[in-house]
């Protein structure tokens, strides 16, 4: 019986030592190869949620970014058919960069709520602009390499 208690005590001590060693490794900043969770919430220094990485209906991944008031500002998720979706809320800006980091296309909503689409050359200069004014009329512009408007189509006033 004494051998059994000594053996069991030895096993418990080995296991306890392993737990302490693992705890020290984590405390020292060790890293794990994988973390599994159903939801990851990032908070700012005040504990306010600023980003949420989770899954939505059907197990599809979703990344939501929040402003300082907890309002959704940007969403990135996969639709039912697996297509990626990016939603920018309010005056967000969607930009496509080339391999050199130059803006090639941008889409945004201005302060008046009007959508604007711009196409840029390899130097990042706006060459084409398409927008709707607050009345909903289309405005189109073609720019030269310096950014100067060389052609435009503006709404015509009603007679």
In CATH terms, 37-90 corresponds, of 1.25.40.420, 3.90.1300.10, 3.90.930.1, 3.90.1150.10, to 3.90.930.1
pLDDT at 1: 44
Whether residue 4 is predicted with pLDDT greater than 60 in this model: the reply is no
Sign of CA dihedral 146, 151, 155, 156: positive
pLDDT per residue as tens digits for the range 135-148: 899 999 999 999 99
pLDDT per residue as tens digits for the range 56-100: 988 999 999 999 998 888 889 998 898 888 888 877 788 888 888
Neighbours of 119 (CB within 10 A): 16
pLDDT at 27: 56
To which H or E segment does residue 13 belong? helix 2-27
Rounded to the nearest integer, the mean pLDDT of the chain is: 83
- Give domain limits for the chain: 37-90, 91-159
Check if 37-90 and 91-159 are the same fold. Answer: yes
Nearest residue to 88 (alpha-carbon basis) of 79, 77, 99: 77
Q: CATH class for domain 91-159? A: alpha beta
pTM of the model: 0.59
pLDDT per residue as tens digits for the range 93-119: 888 888 888 899 999 988 888 999 999
Whether residue 126 is predicted with pLDDT greater than 70 in this model: the reply is yes
Sign of CA dihedral 121, 126, 128, 130: positive
| DSSP-assigned states of every residue in 78-100 | E-TTS-EEEEE-SS-EEEEE-TT
Q: Could you tell me what percent of the chain has a pLDDT over 70? A: 79
Phi, psi of 17 (to 5 degrees): -60, -40
Q: Which residue has the higher pLDDT, 32 or 2?
A: 32
């Amino acid at each position: 019986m004494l051998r059994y208690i000594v053996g069991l005590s030895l096993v418990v001590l080995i296991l306890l030592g392993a737990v302490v060693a693992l705890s020290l490794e984590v405390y020292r900043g060790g890293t794990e190869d994988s973390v599994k969770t159903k939801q990851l919430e990032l908070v700012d220094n005040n504990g306010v949620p600023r980003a949420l990485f989770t899954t939505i209906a059907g197990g599809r991944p979703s990344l939501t970014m929040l402003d300082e008031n907890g309002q959704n500002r940007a969403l990135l998720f996969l639709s039912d058919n697996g297509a990626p979706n990016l939603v920018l809320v309010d005056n967000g800006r969607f930009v496509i960069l080339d391999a050199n980091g130059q803006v090639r296309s941008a889409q945004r909503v201005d302060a008046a709520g009007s959508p604007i689409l711009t196409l840029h050359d390899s130097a990042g200069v706006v060459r084409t602009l398409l927008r709707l004014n607050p009345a909903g009329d289309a405005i189109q512009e073609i720019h030269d390499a310096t950014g100067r408007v060389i052609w435009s189509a503006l709404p015509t006033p009603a007679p």
